[in-house]
Amino acid sequence: MTSSRRNFIKGATAVGAAGAFGFGYSHTASQMLKAALAEDFPADPIFGNAAKPEFTVDLKTGKLEVNPDQTVAYTMCMGCTTVCGVRVRIDNKTQKVLRVTGNPYHVLSSDPFLPYETSVRDSFQALSRYQEKGLLSRSTACGRGNAVLDKLTSPERVKVPLKRVGPRGSEVWAPISFEQLIEEVVEGGDLFGEGHVEGLRAIRDIKTPIDPEQPEFGSKSNQLAVMAPFKDGRLRFAARFAKLSFGTVNFTGHRSYCGLSMRAGYAALLGNWKKMPHLKPDFSNSEFLMFIGTAPGNAGNPFKRQGKLIAQARSEGKLKYVVIDPVLTNSDNLAADDRSRWIPIKPNTDGALVMGMIRWILEKQRYDEKFLRQPGPVAAELAGEASWSNATHLVIVEPDHPRHGKFLRSTDLDPSIVVKKSKKGKKSKPAPALVMDVITGKAMAFNRAGPADLFYQGTLKTVDGNDIAVSSSLSLLKAEADKFSLDEYADICGIPADTIIELAREFTSHGKRAAVDTHGGTMGSNGFYNAFAIVMLNALVGNLNWKGGTSIGGGRYKEIAPGPRYNLKKFPGKVKPKGLGLGRNHLPYEKSSEYKQKVAQGKNPYPAKAPWFSLSPAMSSEYLNSALNGYPYRLKALILWSSNPLYGIAGMSTQVREKLADPKELPLIISIDPFINESNTYADYIVPDTVLYESWGWASAWGGNLTRVSTARWPVVKSDIAETAEGVRIEMESFFIAVAKRMDLPGFGEGAIKDKQGNKYALNRAEDFYLRAAANVAYAGNAVPDVSDEELSLSGVDRISAKLKQVLKAEEWRKVAYVYARGGRFENSDQAYKGAWLKYRYKKPMQIYDEYLAGARNSLTGKSYIGSPTWMQPKLADGSLLSETFSEKQWPFKVISTKSNLQSSHTIGLASLQQIHPKNGISIHVDDAAKLGISSGDQIRITTPGGSVVGAALVRHGIQPGVLGIEHGFGHRQLGARAQRMGNTLQKANRLSGYGVNINDLGFADPRRKGLSVLTDWVVGNVARQGLPARVERV
């Protein structure tokens, strides 16, 4: 080959690689090119320099030969919130993880997944080419799952307890002993030469109120807050300490800035605001799916499983699906042919699209009439329906009636009906709601009536002889849908009216085998009503509990709750935390002392000093600004456990950084974290923590599982972080145990755990808790068999067998080992269905009208919320329109976040992912870019009312005009992006961790609120990160 020809091929290859990988992947392409043209040859012409396989299987006989230098262990992935089951391949000599792939027993990693009784030996064989079994039983990890093992050996890890040196945020730390750490955080003192700091012992007071004048705040123990991560398998241990032992009500995860709008939408639909359950489609058997505000392949949960099932169903089944999103993602591609379709939409207008669909569906009677007419569970069963709704229940619409917006109940019409009083301390159940029975033409209790009138509107005589106007739930939904014409809805959302009709017709053409799914794309300031409208589509076709419809999920084996072996939920001295949380949630403002005092003084009680979110759970997005504003009260200590609110909450960092740096504002900040991030850089102490395959835990599938799943997280490799003087590794569990024992708190130490017979056992180490949880899993229902010696060895569980024997009873440990050998306990797939119904059914009604929602009020205006889905424009906290304050003329663009299928906010430091996808770009439509003279790669500045960022433009057709898309997870200021000094060691900065831009730097305060705040949904308080008003310019 001539030199010129060789150079031509090199150049052509380079151009092709750059085009294929696109923005953010060019470094990877060039590295591949270098490798392809290198003169050094690998050890093997096919497998390169890869390690020898963990086992081999003879293709003729099926004989398994295990590599004695390696171990394969089944455990849990922590690459994202899906928490899939994985198999971890370990080098026995170095104890390093070589590779991570899928667990073939696990529903989130395989389809079909292996029957639980399959031996470990046979599970290895099932992955091989023997009889081509691997084609059927292939079990995978996604890109993140493969790469996340880098966390174990990351140079940015914190491995010893740290105490700040100098002012908060100065990035200088002194390594200290665990014993000093416990002494100082518990007892307090002049810890930094800045004055006395109260320790946890002084703060913990479960009897004295924070404010005697406002007793609803609860005790002084509530002045400790714990901000925790997602459900990673260890959450309930931390909650045991914070809530049930220390006694604080302020324990929260990340929901309010993750997907609260979706969860609240489902809470309204399913009538469960306390637990906020949600539904997922039965992907394998659906015929038509709509994804609105979520993008399978890039976002959603279960991330990997839904992608696989959708791909299978569109190739092998009847599935067609539509993705409605401002940005084109991996969800729709040429490989899907006509089975998938992307429809762009204006940000935060999903509700307009769906209310337009609902209007057409109701007008054309395309809804499932048989399902909706059944007023109760008995009628539904007789009609052959798997679920029921309150579509026919009558609502009081008499304008001045004291119970306006409430259901008409049997006691309203019949004086002879007496409601039974409940036990002391519990609310009495209301009398049954009434429906208009179509057979008798009379108002009857819903649980006694047959099919009922769907669109009843009229007046009825009450007990006192007065007429009362009532309407059925479905008629109220129709009234909300009729507020705008189809053309108006189309103009609002940017989707033609014909397309809205087409979607509505298609959605109602598949019986129960159509479903809609949604998630974080609804996280705008009108997110709740958008989400409520979206999920209402599932009710109109009656798909709940049906094959091919929607599922509440198969649940889990109860590890912590009173189980067949141990009760890990109750213990002597257990505290029931009481009081108002920092987020002003779960308590109506109208029950507050503030409200009552204003009324007593003859004042208008509205507005409250800040929004109250009585419908929502703990509001992590309100913790920091509420504590620093002192409303409802101030904190004395904050524990951040693997939590990074300053990075994750839109607008939070610019609001609170300055005050967090001042110990007078929040005296004690403790972080438990493997890394230093944007939030714990302001901590006073950092406690190291285990990651991934070093930790114990029990988790379950977040959704999308039709059978029961309990995933085991256990230390398959030894951590090299520091240990206590007793030889216990320092981590979240050992820290809380040590603090509790030092303070003599209940639930830890000797006698903290009881078995079924009442015998007591100690809780001194993490395994004391998690192994007994494993015993509950192993003995649930029909107990699992004992593990064999061979399986102990093949699965790597033999490395923890000594601990199993030490903690558990003689008859328990082999059964527990059987569970760990498979990475958890998983119900077999043949248990998913009962005929055309799902085995695990949601038994409560679907709420066409949510009475609880309608009974809540906005604490700034005093106005009641609407109990039906409706179209609402993005609003500020007081209900005023966002667009009135931030006009389109001044802010012509809308910024939205998208998700990467590789990177996330906590994986940005992974070396292997940095090589593939080191930075994000700012997506802008070609027409918008042309008007502004912007080309791909140009540096552009986005400015919002809260700040500005500069990043590289990515000019593309696959985005709605007027929209700027930013991939979440990039633009870190910490997490390795800045150097940290730890004693005599300088932890060098990794500039790759700081690449790109963070959309949350563009968040802003709500101008209708006083003090520190962030923009949220005006009803439930979810953080608004979608549809932020913006302008853009070329730098």
DSSP string, 958-974: SB-TTEEEEETT---SS
pLDDT of residue 130: 85
Residue ranges of the chain whose pLDDT lies below 50: 1-21
Q: How is domain 880-1034 classified at the CATH fold level? A: Barwin-like endoglucanases (2.40.40)
DSSP states of 862-893 as a string?
A: -PBPPSS------B-TTS-BHHHHS-TTT--E
pLDDT of residue 910: 83
What's the CA gap between 425 and 275, in Å, rounded?
20
pLDDT of residue 49: 80
| Residue at token pair 């609105």 | 292
Strand boundaries in 149-229, DSSP class E: 162-164, 172-175, 224-227
What's the CA gap between 790 and 449, in Å, rounded?
61
Q: Which CA distances in Å does 694 have to 230, 713, 766, 855, 913?
A: 18, 8, 12, 47, 21
pTM, entire model = 0.93
| Residue at token pair 């292997």 | 912
Is 161 strand, coil or helix? coil
pLDDT of residue 960: 97
The domain limits of the chain are 1-50, 55-153+701-714+778-831, 162-258+565-577+620-690, 260-368+479-551, 880-1034
Distance of CA 508 to the CA centre of its chain: 30
Cross-strand bridge partners of residue 57: 64
Find out whether 688 and 161 touch, Cβ atoms under 8 Å.
yes
pLDDT of residue 34: 55
For 622-636, give one letter per residue: b (16+ CB within 10 A) or e. bbbbbbbbebbbbbb
What's the CA gap between 299 and 365, in Å, rounded?
34
Q: Which CA distances in Å does 325 have to 296, 413, 958?
A: 11, 48, 10
* Domain 880-1034 in the same topology as domain 162-258+565-577+620-690: no
State the Cα torsion 166-170-172-175 to the nearest 10°. Answer: 70
Find out whether 969 and 138 touch, Cβ atoms under 8 Å.
no
What's the CA gap between 39 and 22, in Å, rounded?
27
What's the CA gap between 185 and 735, in Å, rounded?
11
Find out whether 559 and 383 touch, Cβ atoms under 8 Å.
no
Cα within 13 Å of Cα(57), Cβ side = 16
The CATH number of 162-258+565-577+620-690 is 3.40.50.740
Cross-strand bridge partners of residue 445: 434
Residue type, 522: T
Residue 111 has which token pair? 């389809």
Give every CB contact of residue 842 below 8 A, 6+ residues apart in sequence. Answer: 270, 277, 279, 387, 544, 545, 552
CA 519, 525, 529, 533 dihedral sign is: negative
Helical H segments across 66-177, by residue range: 120-125, 133-137, 143-147
What's the CA gap between 647 and 680, in Å, rounded?
11
Find out whether 1024 and 662 touch, Cβ atoms under 8 Å.
no
DSSP 330: T
DSSP 987: E
pLDDT of residue 29: 57
According to DSSP, the β-strands at 709-713 and 85-91 are: unpaired
Which CATH architecture group holds 260-368+479-551? 3-Layer(aba) Sandwich (3.40)
Helical H segments across 508-581, by residue range: 527-540
Find out whether 993 and 909 touch, Cβ atoms under 8 Å.
yes
DSSP 131: G
pLDDT of residue 914: 83
What's the CA gap between 585 and 578, in Å, rounded?
12
Q: Phi and psi dihedrals of 29, rounded to 5?
A: -60, -45
